[in-house]
């Protein structure tokens, strides 16, 4: 039987993160009446997403033991762990642990149940720093977790880390902790609407989309990095870019370089930046990327995999051509860096922000804001798709439609597919085109209709296929008139942000 306390209240200073907080609260307070036993949770997510912020808030609410590891030698880490644990236990002197085996055994010893006590929340933050020096740690934790399945324990252990390549491996394959965790939480960037609320710009979608194209949904970039320097309005955006991300005096300026360097698996920084620059320049296939940087496709398999494991690159399947996929940079700031900052680095370091920004307007629109706007429109369709399509949104992505009669290709920015099963055919639920800087007209709609015909001729079910035009620059009257007749959605900036 599971006893649940009422949900743990979220402190006011923690913005958003409702689902994450609920999951953590459940994990930390859940007790089973019959047998109290140790539970393990794993919290991961890229740096700056607010993992530490959440876990510290949890320990502040419930009490418990928080330990934040740093890059240090084995001896130094053991010493600071011993000191912190002794302080938590109220011991007069620091514990002098010889080995991690001693340390973890003592830690679990403190959580032995006496039948009445509440669970003990223990957070080991930046766990990969410890395993780097002490690779035996996961096995030791496993042994103690297993032992305290038989013996009663109050332990609620949360292992947390930012090195995604390490954290991902913790529970994978034959890893010792596989199958042991009751909670696996990945803390991700705020979705675009939540990010707009976090930055207090949700009333101004034109500003919110631009801001999101630069700083994305990373909470640290507002508070920790920019001291709450928020653009005052659309008119302040250019100045804001110059005084923040393009200014060598802000931490945001070097952030993209650090983000990559901090992923422990990444050694050859130059190669990784070249791969990212290739993607930022619009090369989205493996062959295209390899060609752009002058390497063979096999030479870039490893960097692509590491970047993907680190959640910096996403590999998304073409919705119309199974087996084909496109790479996309997931972190807007990195895309911004590769497209706007890296080519002009020396001038930026010399304080030439205004000059660089003035001549980057086109590149910003074409390589940053435009592609980013497509991502926002797909995200909108995935979340609001239920309303647009009157049901489950199916699979949302982009893809190419090839027309054999004209031997031409049409790029579809937003495609929604309902995979067929058994008797039913694969169905296209929506075809959409996205424009950042162009007022959309009836011609855009014609292209979508043609693509729909081509897909129907190919044997896909298109009877229920809606068409959608997404534009940040508006729609012509002709298109508005057309849209009344067919099942056509016109989605502008205000629709994307409307609650
Ligand atoms: N939910 C949140 N609400 C408000 N501020 C947040 C939130 N999450 C993160 N922050 C801000 O971002 C900063 C960095 O978060 P942090 O927890 O250190 O990230 P991580 O541990 O994932 O690297 C915090 O110090 C805080 O200023
Ligand atoms: Mg942290």
Cβ-contact 312, 334 below 8 angstroms: yes
CATH number at residue 136: 3.40.50.300
Final residue in a domain of this structure, among 151, 186, 221: 186
- Do 435 and 477 share a domain, yes or no? yes
Atom of ligand 1 nearest to the CA of 53: 17
- Do 335 and 387 share a domain, yes or no? no
Three-state DSSP state, 400: strand
- Do 181 and 200 share a domain, yes or no? no
| pLDDT at residue 169, rounded to an integer | 84
- Do 384 and 483 share a domain, yes or no? yes
Interhelix angle 269-280/301-309, nearest 10 degrees: 80
| Pick from 315, 321, 464: nearest CA to 399 | 321
Final residue in a domain of this structure, among 186, 219, 252: 186
- Do 148 and 266 share a domain, yes or no? no
| Pick from 22, 87, 104, 90: nearest CA to 61 | 22
- Do 252 and 213 share a domain, yes or no? yes
Cβ-contact 494, 458 below 8 angstroms: no
- Do 159 and 200 share a domain, yes or no? no
From residue 310, give the alpha-carbon distance in Å to each of 125, 162, 329, 362. Answer: 18, 9, 11, 30
Task: Report residues whose beta carbon is within 6 angstroms of any ligand 1 atom.
Answer: 14-17, 45, 47-53, 162, 219-220, 223-224
Atom of ligand 1 nearest to the CA of 160: 21
Question: Is residue 203 in some structural domain?
Answer: yes
User: For residue 275, what are its two tokens?
Assistant: 């791969």
What is the side-by-side order of every strand in the sheet holding 120-125? Answer: 65-68, 120-125, 155-161, 39-44, 181-186
Question: Is residue 36 in some structural domain?
Answer: yes
- Do 201 and 287 share a domain, yes or no? yes
Question: Is residue 365 in some structural domain?
Answer: no
Residue 74: CB partners within 8 Å, gap ≥ 6? 100, 133, 134
The structural domain count of the chain equals 3
- Do 78 and 164 share a domain, yes or no? yes
Q: How open is the CA angle 482-485-489, to the nearest 5 degrees?
A: 70
Q: How far apart are CA 127 and CA 137, in angstroms?
A: 9
Q: How far apart are CA 242 and CA 298, in angstroms?
A: 39
CATH number at residue 341: 1.10.10.10
- Report how far ligand 1's centroid is from the alpha carbon of 330 (Å): 19
CATH number at residue 454: 3.40.1350
pLDDT per residue of the chain (499 residues) written in tens, 0 to 9? 455 557 899 999 999 999 999 999 999 988 765 558 999 999 999 999 999 999 999 999 999 999 999 988 999 999 999 999 999 999 999 999 999 999 999 999 999 877 667 899 999 999 999 999 999 999 999 999 999 998 999 999 999 998 777 888 888 878 888 888 999 999 999 999 999 999 999 999 999 999 999 999 999 999 889 989 999 999 999 999 999 999 999 999 999 888 888 775 667 788 899 999 999 999 999 999 999 999 999 999 999 998 998 889 999 989 998 888 899 999 999 999 999 999 999 999 999 999 999 999 999 999 999 999 999 999 999 988 778 887 777 899 999 999 998 899 999 999 999 887 777 788 999 999 999 999 999 999 999 999 999 999 999 999 989 999 999 999 999 999 999 887 799 999 999 998 7
Backbone Cα Rg of the chain: 26
- Do 237 and 119 share a domain, yes or no? no
Q: How far apart are CA 303 and CA 25, in angstroms?
A: 37
Question: Is residue 364 in some structural domain?
Answer: no
Question: Is residue 440 in some structural domain?
Answer: yes
- Do 389 and 421 share a domain, yes or no? yes
- Report how far ligand 2's centroid is from the alpha carbon of 120 (Å): 21
- Report how far ligand 2's centroid is from the alpha carbon of 240 (Å): 27
Rounded to 5 degrees, what are φ and ψ at 177? -90, 0
Pocket perturbation via mutation, ligand 1, pick of 19, 220, 251, 310 by most ligand atoms within 8 A of CB: 220
Side-chain-facing half-sphere of 166: CA atoms under 13 Å:
24
- Under the phi-then-psi rule, with left for phi > 0, alpha for psi from -120 to 50, and beta for the rest, what region is 173? left
- Which one of the ligands is nearest to 46 CA? 1
Buried b / exposed e across 136-157, counting CB within 10 Å, b at 16+?
ebbebbbebbeebeeeebbbbb
- DSSP per-residue string spanning 285-297: SHHHHHHHHT--G
- Report how far ligand 2's centroid is from the alpha carbon of 19 (Å): 19
Three-state DSSP state, 225: coil
Q: What residue owns the CA closest to ligand 1's atom 11?
A: 220
Cβ neighbour number for residue 3 with a 10 Å cutoff: 9
Question: Is residue 366 in some structural domain?
Answer: no
Residue 121's domain comprises 2-186
| Pick from 272, 275, 376, 372: nearest CA to 332 | 372
- Report how far ligand 1's centroid is from the alpha carbon of 367 (Å): 28
Query: Residue 46: exposed, middle, or buried by beta-carbon count in 10 A (0-12, 13-18, 19+)?
Result: buried
Question: Is residue 274 in some structural domain?
Answer: yes
Final residue in a domain of this structure, among 137, 166, 186: 186
- Do 338 and 377 share a domain, yes or no? no
Question: Is residue 142 in some structural domain?
Answer: yes
Rounded to 5 degrees, what are φ and ψ at 356? -65, -45
């Amino acid at each position: 039987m599971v006893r649940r306390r009422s949900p743990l209240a979220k402190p006011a200073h923690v913005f958003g993160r409702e689902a994450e907080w609920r999951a953590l609260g459940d994990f930390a307070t859940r007790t089973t009446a019959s047998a109290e036993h140790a539970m393990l949770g794993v919290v991961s997510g890229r740096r700056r997403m607010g993992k530490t912020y959440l876990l510290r808030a949890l320990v502040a609410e419930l009490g418990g033991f928080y330990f934040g590891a740093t890059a240090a030698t084995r001896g130094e880490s053991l010493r600071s762990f011993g000191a912190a644990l002794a302080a938590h236990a109220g011991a007069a002197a620091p514990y002098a642990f010889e080995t991690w085996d001693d340390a973890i055994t003592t830690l679990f010893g403190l959580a032995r149940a006496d039948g009445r006590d509440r669970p003990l929340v223990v957070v080991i933050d930046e766990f990969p720093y410890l395993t780097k020096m002490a690779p035996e740690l996961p096995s030791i934790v496993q042994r103690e977790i297993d032992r305290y399945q038989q013996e009663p324990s109050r332990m609620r252990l949360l292992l947390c880390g930012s090195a995604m390549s390490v954290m991902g491996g913790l529970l994978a394959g034959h890893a010792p902790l596989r199958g042991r965790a009751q909670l696996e939480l990945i803390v991700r960037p705020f979705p675009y609407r939540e990010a707009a609320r976090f930055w207090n710009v949700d009333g101004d979608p034109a500003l919110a989309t631009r801001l999101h194209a630069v700083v994305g949904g990373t909470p640290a970039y507002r508070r920790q990095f920019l001291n709450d320097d928020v653009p005052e309005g659309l008119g302040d955006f250019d100045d804001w870019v110059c005084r923040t991300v393009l200014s060598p005096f802000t931490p945001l300026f070097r952030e993209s370089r650090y983000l990559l360097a901090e992923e422990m698996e990444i050694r050859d920084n130059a190669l990784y930046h070249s791969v990212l620059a290739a993607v930022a320049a619009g090369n989205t296939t493996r062959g295209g990327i390899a060609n752009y940087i002058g390497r063979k496709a096999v030479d870039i398999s490893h960097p692509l995999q590491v970047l993907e494991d680190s959640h910096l690159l996403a590999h998304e399947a073409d919705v119309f051509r199974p087996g084909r996929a496109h790479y996309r940079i997931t972190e807007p700031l990195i895309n911004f860096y590769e497209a706007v900052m890296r080519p002009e680095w020396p001038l930026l370091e010399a304080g030439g922000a205004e000059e660089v920004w003035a001549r980057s307007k086109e590149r910003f629109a074409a390589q940053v804001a435009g592609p980013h706007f497509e991502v926002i429109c797909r995200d909108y369709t995935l979340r609001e798709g239920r309303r647009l399509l009157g049901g489950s949104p199916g699979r949302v992505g982009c893809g190419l439609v090839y027309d054999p009669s004209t031997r031409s290709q049409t790029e579809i920015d937003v495609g929604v597919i309902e995979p067929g099963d058994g008797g039913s055919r694969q169905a296209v639920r929506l075809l959409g085109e996205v424009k950042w800087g162009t007022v959309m007209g009836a011609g855009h709609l014609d292209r979508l209709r043609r693509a729909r015909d081509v897909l129907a001729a190919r044997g896909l079910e298109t009877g229920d296929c809606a068409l959608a035009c997404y534009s940040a620059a508006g729609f012509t009257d002709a298109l508005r008139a057309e849209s009344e007749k067919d099942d056509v959605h016109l989605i502008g900036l205000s629709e994307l942000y409307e609650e």
